[in-house]
Amino acid sequence: MTALFADWALLPQGWCANVRVEIDAVGRIASVSTDSHAQTGDTRLANRLLIPALSNLHSHAFQRAMAGHAEKKASGEDSFWTWREAMYGFLGQLTPEDVEAIAAFAYMEMLEAGFSAIGEFHYLHHRPDGGSYDDPAEMAQRIIAAAQTSGIGMTLLPVLYAQGGVDGRALNDRQRRFGCDMDRYATLHGAIKHSAADSVLGVAAHSLRAVPPAMLTPLASDFGGGPVHIHIAEQVAEVADVQAAYGARPVAWLLDNADVDPRWCLVHATHMQPEETIALAKTRAVAGLCPITEGNLGDGIFDGWRFLEAGGRYGIGSDSNVRIDLTEELRVLEYSQRFQDRHRTVMRRDPGSVGQALYQAAAQGGAQALGRQAGRIEPGAWADLTALEADEILPFVPGHQEWLDHYVFVAGDRAVRTVWSAGRMMVQDGRHIHRAKIAHAFKQTVAHLMEGGS
């Protein structure tokens, strides 16, 4: 048993003083006491604010290595769909070794940003020609290995990708690395299950474009009771495609044709009619918002206020990993609402700190989406914790307690000092404890990818 002692900690009931958190041998919180005293051997978190670390609910780790390489203007109109072509071109050359090095680097940056767990929406399964690796779960093993190297908590979401569009067209050459029919998917999922003991294992449908209706129910019901994720309504063109093919918009169609419940996470619930927004909120499923990527790709803006009013749950994901910045995700979420609604303080219903409302909603929604007991500092939860530097949260006035507004809106990620995932202290003084090694491997990987002419 180890114990942390913090002057201030954000507990489910609010900010509490002199908090002692005991962590057991497997990394769960054993006890939390307030108005307590430090004991000999406790780790004293002097001048720190202890908060639950966040679960990042959506990532394609490999895309980290193309960050900054798709921002050049070419002739013609650039869109999500032209970006996707660039992304396909990039992933075509990736080997399992490349994926492992890139993912470890992305996960390291996530930990440094204050994310203690990741939901990897993993679809890069096969060889470039579409054939299986000798171990069909080779790529998934690399993702798991990267999580272990970095120390981040993993929820692995092997993705079913079966067709090239809502009309049932075949995968194109560049999509072959993703493709599975139901049998191949079952083999893959079974192989992953054997090696993912430390991870939460869920399922994912890539999108309504890539998974035909008949496969959705077996996908959600035949692979255990873990999380179910799907890209749902990111682009207006996909909304129009689904509407034309199935007679309803993606969110409305899904709610009518699948048992959407709290296991589900609808990633990019961007384009919804008011009725869809309200109906989604009522399912208690999580809306997976990826504000930085959604801005980067020109997706559109989520209907935050209506969703919140209806009691909706959400979390945040770093998706394309073009920039890994936890507080920027929350700021872009709130600011996109302000741009859209021409109001302020949108993402909170009752009076109080907006930063805290954003942070706590994302902590709880993220943990729910990852099937991870986390997001709150309470006994039984994983010790997923972040210690912020109080001197970065200026003006730090005890008793004022709008500290997360200063963290989210003003200081940003630089306030993060120490991060634990399941009790493992992976970030100290703002830097990952294995940064040099992981960064070196990433740099070499990127160098050889550039030589390869991407």
- The answer to whether residue 320 forms part of the interface with ligand NGQ (CB under 6 A) is yes
431-432: strand order across its sheet? 29-33, 14-23, 2-11, 43-52, 385-389, 416-421, 424-428, 431-432
Which residue, 49 or 370, is less far from Zn ion as judged by CB?
A: 370
Whole-Å CA distances, 16 to 51, 85, 417: 11, 50, 20
Query: Considering the rule CB under 6 A, would residue 445 count as an interface residue with ligand NGQ?
Result: no
Shortest Å distance, C-beta 98 to ligand NGQ: 16
Q: How far is the CB of 258 from Zn ion (least distance, A)?
A: 19
Count the site residues for ligand NGQ by CB under 6 A. Answer: 9
Residue from 179, 206, 201 nearest 191 by CA? 201
For the bound state, the minimum distance from the C-beta of residue 396 to ligand NGQ, rounded and expressed in Å, comes to 37
Residue 55: closest CA among 344, 433, 393, 365: 365
Contact string (CB under 6 A) for ligand NGQ, positions 276-315, x = contact:
-----------------x---x------------------
Please indicate whether residue 268 is annotated as part of the active site.
yes
How many residues bind Zn ion (CB under 5 A)? The answer is: 1
Pairwise CA distance, residues 146 & 95, whole Å? 14
Binding mask 301-340 for Zn ion (x = CB under 5 A): ------------------x---------------------
- If one asks whether residue 163 binds ligand NGQ (CB under 6 A), the answer comes out as no
Identify the H or E element spanning 82: helix 80-91
Distances (CA, A) of 35 to 8, 14, 283: 10, 13, 38
Q: Which is nearer to ligand NGQ, 107 or 420 (CB)?
A: 107
Residues facing residue 17 across a β-bridge = 8
Return the residue of 28, 60, 229, 372 that touches ligand NGQ, per CB under 6 A: 60
Q: Which two tokens stand for residue 274?
A: 């008011």
- Nearest one of 374, 436, 427, 370 to 151, comparing CA atoms: 427
270 binds, among Zn ion, ligand NGQ, none (CB under 5 to 8 A by kind): none
Helix (H) or strand (E) holding 83: helix 80-91
Taking the complex as a whole, how short is the minimal distance between the CB of residue 207 and ligand NGQ, in angstroms?
6
Of 320 and 418, which has the nearer Cβ to ligand NGQ? Answer: 320
| 254 close to 260: Cβ distance less than 8 angstroms | yes
Q: Which does 320 bind (CB under 5 to 8 A by kind): Zn ion, ligand NGQ, none?
A: ligand NGQ
Burial readout 223-260 (b: 16 or more C-beta within 10 A, e: otherwise)? beebbbbbbbbbbeebbebbeebbeebbbbbbbeebeb
Using CB under 6 A as the binding rule, the residues of this chain from 85 to 104 that contact ligand NGQ are: none
Where do we find the tokens 């709150």? 376
| Main-chain phi, psi angles of 388, to 5 degrees | -95, 150
The least distance separating Zn ion from the CB of residue 115, rounded to whole angstroms, comes to 16
Two tokens, residue 89: 């071109």
Q: Determine, following the binding rule CB under 6 A, whether residue 84 of this chain makes contact with ligand NGQ.
A: yes
Q: Which residue is catalytic, options 229, 268, 271, 406? A: 268
Q: Whole-number minimum distance, CB 231 to ligand NGQ, in Å?
A: 5
Could you say which residues in the range 208-267 bind ligand NGQ, by CB under 6 A? 231, 234
Catalytic residue among 299, 303, 319, 413: 319
Min. distance of Cβ 132 from ligand NGQ in angstroms?
A: 20
189: annotated active-site residue: no
- In whole angstroms, give the CA distance from residue 105 to residue 146: 8
> Which of ligand NGQ, Zn ion, none is residue 293 near (CB under 5 to 8 Å by kind)?
ligand NGQ
Nearer to Zn ion, 9 or 362 (CB): 362
Residue 51: half-sphere exposure toward Cβ, Cα within 13 Å? 25
Can you give the binding site for Zn ion, defined by CB under 5 A? 319
* Catalytically active residues, by annotation: 268, 319
Can you give the binding site for ligand NGQ, defined by CB under 6 A? 60, 84, 207, 231, 234, 293, 297, 319-320
